[in-house]
Amino acid sequence: MSELPAESSDAKEALVSGAATIQDPTGLHARPAVKLTKLAKAHDATIEIRAGEDGKWVNAKSPNAVMKLKAGSGEILFVRAQGAQADEAVKALVALIERDFEAE
């Protein structure tokens, strides 16, 4: 996926970002990856995530791409979004990660 522009003259199209640390001892496995992508799909925005400072940005709405990150416990997931619901999307995804993907 191509890089999103760093800034835009339209506030609605501004790039919003956030980050949270993976708490689950098994990392970002299938169950949390599906929860993350399902939540991302519920927002009208282009959303990307990456694992770690140097990770590759991937489409947060793609379960396959998210699972391929192979993000481990203690790793930081960075989230960025652009579009009508970018701010809400980033806040929701960061909160989900911080809640340990609502682990039981």
Catalytic sites, residue numbers: 29
Tell me the three state secondary structure of residue 49.
strand
Sign of the dihedral through C-alpha 40, 16, 25, 70: positive
Sign of the dihedral through C-alpha 104, 37, 90, 75: positive
